């Protein structure tokens, strides 16, 4: 049996570019070479596409663009007769067939439905959620509204657009939510651009940071003394739910630095919860996954109020981190699935999803 050619998309025009490079290095090192022929297709921060054939460590450290001898201009072609990439060979671009794409991309232009739309047009199977689900899960404001309508518990939140009347916005936050609050870009991941504001005096800088990352922001009421837990959901229609796992962040909340660079953040798998509470969270994760129309994989994050045990869904992540310290692979491995089998399973889910059409 011939190996499936799998394009591993990484990098991207996103504030999470560096995280994507770390994630794809782990996927590349753990993919089953007996089944798959992985191709590293990188996108620079400025939006240039290259097929990369050099040392994977250069990708992990985000130095791959400097390795000019192992770069070829290449891009996903929307023409369905190509079913893959156009790759530079000398002065000419030639078609290069790809069987499936694993978009190891986080954040904008990769996790928000835009890349999924390109792959739909190209007719190439790809790992993860389809266009609508990816876009829906990426926008925290719209996602909150859909889940609330479906009866999934949410924190109270307010939404503001860039250019809004700040005096009115600050008054609304103070009177409707109280403090502390979390100020977030509506469309970003890895905790990029998030601030915990403890008073109105701190809102100005928090709004500036969030608006630097998105034209729409949300402000969420903080959960009192929360336990942060995450569930890994795997599957298309038949679902496997791993977890929940518990995060004890080194920072005041699970910030970008706490996620990727601070070794003092602690993970507990399984979470330190009762069996009943863990079962409740798994069912809530499964329900949210189905409501949002997710496919392949999603990590669903929750907050549990320590005193009352009340659970709220924080956010879904449709292309969660795949680094060697990322929670999604850890949760699925704890559920009995090896890392290589997880990657293989996601690729086969993508193929089966498209074969049903």
- What span, in angstroms and rounded, lies between the C-alpha atoms of 204 and 206? 5
Long-range CB pairs of 92-97 (<8 Å, 24+ gap) are 96/39, 96/51, 97/5
pLDDT at 243: 82
Give the model's pLDDT for residue 61.
Answer: 96
- The total of other beta-carbon atoms located within 10 Å of residue 57's CB is 11
Q: pLDDT tens track of the chain, all 357 residues?
A: 689 999 999 999 998 999 999 999 999 999 999 999 999 999 999 999 999 999 999 999 999 999 999 999 999 999 999 999 999 999 999 999 999 999 999 988 999 999 999 999 999 999 999 999 999 999 999 999 999 999 999 999 999 999 999 999 999 999 999 999 999 999 876 577 899 999 999 999 999 999 999 999 999 999 999 999 999 999 999 999 998 999 998 766 544 554 445 566 789 999 999 999 999 999 999 999 999 999 999 999 999 999 999 999 999 999 999 987 899 999 999 999 999 999 999 999 999 998 766
User: Could you give the angle at which helices 339-355 and 17-30 cross, rounded to 10 degrees?
Assistant: 100
């Amino acid at each position: 049996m011939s190996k499936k050619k799998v394009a591993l998309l990484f990098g991207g025009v996103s504030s999470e570019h560096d995280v994507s490079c770390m994630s794809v290095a782990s996927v590349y090192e753990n993919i089953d070479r007996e089944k798959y022929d992985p191709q590293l297709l990188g996108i620079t921060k400025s939006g240039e596409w290259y097929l990369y054939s050099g040392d994977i460590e250069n990708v992990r450290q985000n130095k791959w663009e400097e390795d000019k001898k192992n770069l070829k201009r290449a891009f996903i072609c929307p023409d369905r007769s190509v079913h893959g990439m156009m790759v530079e060979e000398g002065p000419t671009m030639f078609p290069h067939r790809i069987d499936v794409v694993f978009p190891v991309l986080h954040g904008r232009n990769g996790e928000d439905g835009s890349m999924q739309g390109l792959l739909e047009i190209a007719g190439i199977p790809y790992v993860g959620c389809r266009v609508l689900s990816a876009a829906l899960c990426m926008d925290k404001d719209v996602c909150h509204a859909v889940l609330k309508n479906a009866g999934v518990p949410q924190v109270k939140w307010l939404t503001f657009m860039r250019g809004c009347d700040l005096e009115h916005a600050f008054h609304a936050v103070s009177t409707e939510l109280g403090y502390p609050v979390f100020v977030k870009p509506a469309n970003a991941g890895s905790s990029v651009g998030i601030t915990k504001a403890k008073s109105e005096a701190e809102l100005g800088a928090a709004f500036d940071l969030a608006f630097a990352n998105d034209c729409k922001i949300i402000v969420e009421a903080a959960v009192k003394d929360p336990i942060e837990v995450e569930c890994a959901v795997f599957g298309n229609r038949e679902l496997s739910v791993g977890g929940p796992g518990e995060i004890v962040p080194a920072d005041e909340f699970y910030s970008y630095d706490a996620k990727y660079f601070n070794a003092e953040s602690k993970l507990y798998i399984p979470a330190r919860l009762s069996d009943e509470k863990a079962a409740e969270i798994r069912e809530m994760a499964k329900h949210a996954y189905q409501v949002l129309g997710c496919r392949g994989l999603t990590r669903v994050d929750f907050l549990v109020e320590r005193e009352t045990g009340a659970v709220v869904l924080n956010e879904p992540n449709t292309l969660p981190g795949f680094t060697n310290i990322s929670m999604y692979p850890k949760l699925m491995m704890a559920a009995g699935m090896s890392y290589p089998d997880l990657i293989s399973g996601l690729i086969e889910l993508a193929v089966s999803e498209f074969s049903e059409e």
